[in-house]
Structure 1
Amino acid sequence: MSETYRAIRLERFADTFRAATEIIEVPLTAPGPGEIRVRNRWCGINGIFDTQIARNAVDYVHVALPSFMGVEAIGVVDAVGPGVTGFKVGDAAATVNFRGGYREANVGPESLFARVPEASREWLALASTGVSALLALEHIGAVKDGETVAISAAAGGLGHLLVQLAKHRGCHVVAICGGLEKAAFVASLGADRVIDYKAEDVAAVLAAEYPARLDVAIDTVSGSIFDAFLGQMARHGRLVVGGAAQDLEGKPEIVTGPRIVHAIYYKGVSVRGFMNGLLTGHWPAARERVFALYRAGHIAVTFDKTRFTGLTGIYDGVERLLSGQSMGKVVVKIAEEGDTRWR
């Protein structure tokens, strides 16, 4: 009997990730020429992206049914094919390519994987979300030392790394988050001003304390947070759009008001889209920089306090992230370090 492993696969389009997918058995194949086989230990959760894929609502990704799911995973190489030069059995390997995340094993070209020091959740977060944070802030946001930087969802997996990267550049950081616990967490990272949107009016605070002073703003929420950032951008400010979580449910809000041109023209402001999947050529250099910052103690990774295990835990992880209650990076432990069994 041939060996198998388990993976989550999109079987139908539906409103939720749970309703659209199933856990299936997949034959465990040997790697071909130029390929490696990795046994995954951890995966990272991207709940909004997963949900939009389940709804067939991601314009830039063509999804043919059935399709494997998940983006981020890290594990250990257990077999290499002919001609492989970058990996050997026992190496830790991470992937941040769609369809490679929510599975117990992965076989593919070595070019789809990155060597990492260890198959731990820390290095997974750095190789995925850490790279995203660095590129959003420096490549798209073009941040300069000492600037004023505003960050929405600052207590999340991406946000808490953005805060630390901006502080490392000597920036004044204005962090937006919801709730006392999250506000205290973000303040502990060094944010200079934390705005708890559940207790304060973000637009009013920015207008009073940072009038036309935001050099860089990174928004993953949209809606009123985007509007508040846009209204207080400095001359030549850069507003980076890295997501639109508020628009996940239902249709995007229809806004009746002055066109965006009136907010950007006279101050030379730019609104820039950040899509990490379009920046693959920048990933290797960004990964090395993030790794170096981590080794030097300039950034740390915080994980959500709720623990999830196994493929079934991925469903709970997605729902935890979508609940808005998570703090830090949400990950799932797929396999124990000493577990060599394929399911």
Structure 2
Amino acid sequence: MTPQTYRAIRLERIAPSFREGAEIVTLPLAEPQRGEIRVRNLHCGVNAIFDTQIARDAVDYVKIALPTFTGVEAIGVVEAVGEAVTGFAIGDAAVTVRFTGGYREANTGPASGFAPAPAATRDYLALASTGVSALVALERIGEVRSGETVAISAAAGGLGHLLVQLALLKGCRVIGVAGGAEKCAFVSSLGAERTIDYRTEDVGAVLSREYPRGIDVAIDTVSGTIFDAFLANLANHGRLVVGGAAADLEGRPEIVAAPRIANAIYYKGASVRGFMNGLLTPYWDDARRRLFDLYQRGKLKVHLDSQRNQGIEGIFDGIERLLSGRSMGKVVVDLAQPTE
């Protein structure tokens, strides 16, 4: 029998960390209304920097009113369908990448807020969320072309390891930046022709020495000195895609005394471009379909972090794991086991 309640994580107060600001709450299970479905979530994906900034009320484009539900991405099985819903039936796999839909055991909402998936697995969750970000960033913002040289920061992470593979599938030369021997070995195993260990090597010096023609596309989610190294080593007409600024999570962004960015890009005809996936929703469905196809044909692999996080309580552990810098691949939480 379906339980009549479910649990979710709700942000109750503004706090320095997600764990300090959020609590697990028990809620009544809602029946779907017209145009709605109810999904029993099996897995959710962790977005630790976003979660931390939400807890601090520091995400400019998301205006929160406390209390608020949390989490962005989850995948599960449809267990109830409201009137006039045509795209889903009971038992279908459904994924959501909408804020407040992730960190909960069940989710009732408009069918338009979900997308179908071949199965309710961790891999399809990663592809439908992080994979879509990777493909859209490469194609729509980076405008990557076959034969180009592509540099990727945090290349061993959930986003990075998919970016590496997708750039290779497009016929690019790939440089991955990661921290530590284990992560660098992993990035190399994906096919990157050069992996730079930022802990032991000077990223800018390596790029200048080994890639004197420059980088055609750089995708950076770190900021700080890695951003500086990518910017300084762009090729003519190079594109530096900014997909995050992890180095700025603690405290205020660093104040840098240097020539304005115009000096770095003008004579090269280069550009610095911001990637915000939420502004690119028209491309999500097509990207998701193509990613699922690549995965099913064995062209694209999903690597999950080795730490298993179980239950709604495991979300806090997953967030802290990702923030620790020790994770490799996509960090997910198993909210429930599939029923037989």
TM-score, length basis structure 2: 0.98
Distance 2:277 2:58 in 1: 18
Match of 2:99 in 1: 98
What secondary structure sits across from 1:250 in the alignment?
A: coil
Match of 1:235 in 2: 236
Counterpart check, 1:139 vs 2:140: yes
Deviations 1:99-130 (A, max 9, x none): 00000000000000000000000100000000
What secondary structure sits across from 1:94 in the alignment?
A: strand
Deviations 1:33-86 (A, max 9, x none): 000000000000000000000000000001010100000000000000000000
Counterpart check, 1:160 vs 2:161: yes
- Identity, in percent, stands at 68
2:88–2:116 Cα contact (<8 Å) kept: yes
1:310: Cα distance to partner?
0.3
Match of 2:62 in 1: 61
Deviations 1:170-227 (A, max 9, x none): 1110100000000100000000000001111111111111134100000000000000
What secondary structure sits across from 1:235 in the alignment?
A: strand
Counterpart check, 1:279 vs 2:280: yes
Amino acid paired to 2:43: W
1:289: Cα distance to partner?
1.1
Deviations 1:127-150 (A, max 9, x none): 000000000111110000010000
1:39–1:77 Cα contact (<8 Å) kept: yes
Match of 1:179 in 2: 180
1:47–1:319 Cα contact (<8 Å) kept: yes
1:212–1:231 Cα contact (<8 Å) kept: no
Q: After the TM superposition, which parts of structure 1 deviate over 6 Å for at least 4 consecutive aligned residues?
A: none
Distance 1:211 1:98 in 2: 42
Distance 1:163 1:202 in 2: 17
Counterpart check, 1:33 vs 2:34: yes
Amino acid paired to 1:182: K
Distance 1:210 1:275 in 2: 28
Match of 2:108 in 1: 107
Deviations 1:226-247 (A, max 9, x none): 0000001001111000000000
Query: Can you give the 5+ residue segments of structure 1 that lack an aligned partner in the other structure?
Result: none
Distance 2:69 2:335 in 1: 16
1:15–1:55 Cα contact (<8 Å) kept: yes
Match of 2:263 in 1: 262
Distance 1:135 1:262 in 2: 28
1:293: Cα distance to partner?
1.2
What secondary structure sits across from 2:34 in the alignment?
A: coil
Amino acid paired to 1:285: D
1:175–1:195 Cα contact (<8 Å) kept: yes
What secondary structure sits across from 2:158 in the alignment?
A: coil
What secondary structure sits across from 1:64 in the alignment?
A: coil
Distance 1:338 1:285 in 2: 30
Stretch moving more, 142-151 or 295-304: 295-304
Match of 1:48 in 2: 49
1:152–1:176 Cα contact (<8 Å) kept: yes
1:4–1:26 Cα contact (<8 Å) kept: yes
TM-score, length basis structure 1: 0.98
Match of 1:224 in 2: 225
1:72–1:124 Cα contact (<8 Å) kept: yes
2:208–2:214 Cα contact (<8 Å) kept: no
1:252: Cα distance to partner?
0.4
Give RMSD over aligned pairs. Answer: 0.9
Match of 1:15 in 2: 16
Counterpart check, 1:125 vs 2:119: no
1:13: Cα distance to partner?
0.5
What secondary structure sits across from 2:312 in the alignment?
A: helix
1:4–1:27 Cα contact (<8 Å) kept: yes
Match of 2:336 in 1: 335
